[in-house]
Amino acid sequence: MLIVTIILGLIGLGVVVVVHELGHFAAARAMGVEVEAFSVGWGPRVAGFKRGGTEWRFSAFPVGGYCKMKGEESFRKALEEKAPELPRETGSFYGASPWRRIVIAVSGPLANVLFALVVFMMVSTIGYSYPTYPNRIVLLSEFDLGVSKQASYPADSAGLKSGDRILSVDGKRIGDFSDLLEGITLSANKPVTLKIERDGSVLEKKVTPMLNKETGGGLIGVSYWADPVVGAVGQGSAAQIAGILPGDRIVSIGGAPVRHAIEAQSILLSSKPERSAFVLDRGGKSVETNVILSWDAQGKSNLGLSFKTDVHVVDGTATLGAAIGAGFDETISTFDATMKGLGSLFMGVDLFKALSGPARITYMVGQSATEGIQRSAQGGLAVPLNFLAFLSISLFIMNLLPIPALDGGQIVMFVVEGARRRALKPLTIYRYQTIGAFFILAIFVFASIGDLFFFAAK
């Protein structure tokens, strides 16, 4: 399954990059710049054909691609000869005016935005479903989940209680726990107003989510409250050997009553027993069984059961206008979320954990695609499609950063050239791009180290 995940991840990542390069290609042709080659993938050419003056290649490593414009050879030659300026060849990239080069540079990122918009429109049209939990909460400070925790979280300071049902965050309706996570994650260090339901009464609480230094998002120290009903039992697991079945409700573990799924996990993790007595409610009948457990060095057991989730269903839009509106709304909200996530990198987060490198991105794309395949054919498509759209918007933002060697850095260079009304020297361009290349390489190495920590912990 890991191989399938990696293959699907490479394909998905490749699609987003190829879309980006197609944006450059279309703009180059429109601006009168000749495209000598367009490759799907990198490395040695495997196959291809020539059409419209462009060689279309399929290369050995199917990760992304590139768009080779006329003028690269002239640029290298000018560097070797230490020419004072680049030759203005007709149809070459550097032969085009600065504003035409700006159009070409910005069109790659814009293609990613358009791709995301179309994808979100498709998802809103077909509809989708996803597993989630109710909007009822459990305070993490009250339970031992086998990980380090604080004595008090923002939720405790704000006066929230286990069992509270969150109705809205800053006026935005909360339908399930996924909605709550979204509202809190995007509000690190920013006060929000929660409307809650407690014992039949509706209350308002102010809370300021703290910054999660591992993810860059906000957290208040709550988890979901889910009934301790078994959703699935793993083949050959301790739970299956003990005769636990999907649909069983866990009443107690080791004599301790269980009110919700988090409490069941906490009882086991706090003592890590080798044998524990489970009392189950099976269709109104009480069933007792002993579960024999083993624990690894990371504190994980072989219990092998998961709890039942709710299924949130989003119906498809009925009209094209509604699909376009939904696509725009989702694109804007994803853009906003991505910008906030980028900003959190400068707020003291653990960059090794918060910054994803190519390996982790490939894995996550592949994992979302695998999950989509495992679900129903129609609704399951939403998982990988949404992730590709999110990745595409991230690529749009990152490429427009004013970093040399990225599209944004190139645009800055062309703006300077246009303002000076004089072409930049080849050596100046080369040094500028080299600085950017080293900067990007440093980020790549740093993020890849973080990826190693990520996979080592799995």
Q: Cα(376)–Cα(427) distance, rounded to whole angstroms?
A: 56
- 137-224 with 230-308: one CATH topology? yes
**What's the mean pLDDT in 381-387?**
76
**What's the mean pLDDT in 266-295?**
94
Q: Cα(153)–Cα(145) distance, rounded to whole angstroms?
A: 15
Cβ atoms of 288 and 255 within 8 Å: the answer is no
Cβ atoms of 29 and 35 within 8 Å: the answer is yes
φ, ψ for residue 109 (rounded to 5)? -60, -40
| pLDDT tens for each residue of 155-172 | 999 999 999 999 999 999
Q: Cα(358)–Cα(450) distance, rounded to whole angstroms?
A: 10
Angle at 214 between CA 213 and CA 219, to 5 degrees: 65
| pLDDT tens for each residue of 346-361 | 555 555 555 554 544 5
pLDDT band at 445; cut points 50, 70, 90: low
Amino acid at 264: A
Q: Cα(291)–Cα(349) distance, rounded to whole angstroms?
A: 40
End-to-end Cα spacing for the chain: 15
Domain segments of the chain: what residues? 2-110+388-456, 137-224, 230-308
| pLDDT tens for each residue of 24-65 | 999 999 999 999 999 998 888 899 999 988 999 999 887 788
pLDDT at 9 over 90: no
φ, ψ for residue 364 (rounded to 5)? -70, -40
pLDDT at 290 over 50: yes
Q: Closest by alpha carbon to 68, among 87, 84, 53?
A: 53
pLDDT at 377 over 50: no
Neighbour count for residue 212 (Cβ, 10 Å): 18
Amino acid at 280: L
Residues 6+ apart with CB under 8 A from 399: 20, 108, 109, 112, 406, 407, 408
* The token pair that represents 137 in the structure block: 């909460």
Q: Closest by alpha carbon to 196, among 183, 187, 186?
A: 183
Q: Which residue bears the tokens 């490395």?
A: 43
φ, ψ for residue 240 (rounded to 5)? -65, -40
Give percent of the chain with pLDDT exceeding 90. 42
Question: What pLDDT score does 139 carry?
Answer: 94
The pTM (predicted TM-score) of the whole model is 0.74
Cβ atoms of 363 and 450 within 8 Å: the answer is no
CA R_g for the chain: 27
Question: What pLDDT score does 101 carry?
Answer: 93
**What's the mean pLDDT in 161-187?**
91
- Mean of all residue pLDDT scores within the chain: 83
Topology given in CATH for the domain delimited by 137-224: Pdz3 Domain (2.30.42)
Q: Cα(240)–Cα(230) distance, rounded to whole angstroms?
A: 11
Lowest mean pLDDT among 172-186, 201-215, 374-388, 393-407: 374-388
Which superfamily does CATH assign the domain made up of 230-308 to?
PDZ domain (2.30.42.10)
Three-class HEC string of the chain: CHHHHHHHHHHHHHHHHHHHHHHHHHHHHHCCCCEEEEEEEEEEEEEEEEECCEEEEEEEEEEEEEEEECCHHHHHHHHHCCCCCCCCCCCCCCCCCHHHHHHHHHHHHHHHHHHHHHHHHHHHHHCEEEEECCCEEEEHHHCCCCCCCCCCCHHHHCCCCCCCEEEEECCEECCCHHHHHHHHHCCCCCCEEEEEEECCEEEEEEECCEECCCCCCEECCEEECCCCEEEEECCCCHHHHCCCCCCCEEEEECCEECCCHHHHHHHHHHHCCCEEEEEEEECCEEEEEEEECCECCCCCECCCEEECCEEEEECCCCCHHHHHHHHHHHHHHHHHHHHHHHHHCCCCCCHHHHCCCHHHHHHHHHHHHHHHHHCCCCHHHHHHHHHHHHHHHHHHHHHCCCCCCCHHHHHHHHHHHHHHCCCCCHHHHHHHHHHHHHHHHHHHHHHHHHHHHHHHCC
**Is 81 an annotated catalytic residue?**
no
Q: Closest by alpha carbon to 332, among 396, 282, 287?
A: 396
Question: What pLDDT score does 378 carry?
Answer: 47
**What's the mean pLDDT in 312-338?**
82
Q: Which residue bears the tokens 């987060």?
A: 349
Amino acid at 303: L
Question: What pLDDT score does 104 carry?
Answer: 96
φ, ψ for residue 210 (rounded to 5)? -85, 160
pLDDT at 371 over 60: no
Task: Say how far residue 169 (Cα) sits from the centre of its chain.
Answer: 22
pLDDT band at 369; cut points 50, 70, 90: very low
Cβ atoms of 280 and 288 within 8 Å: the answer is yes
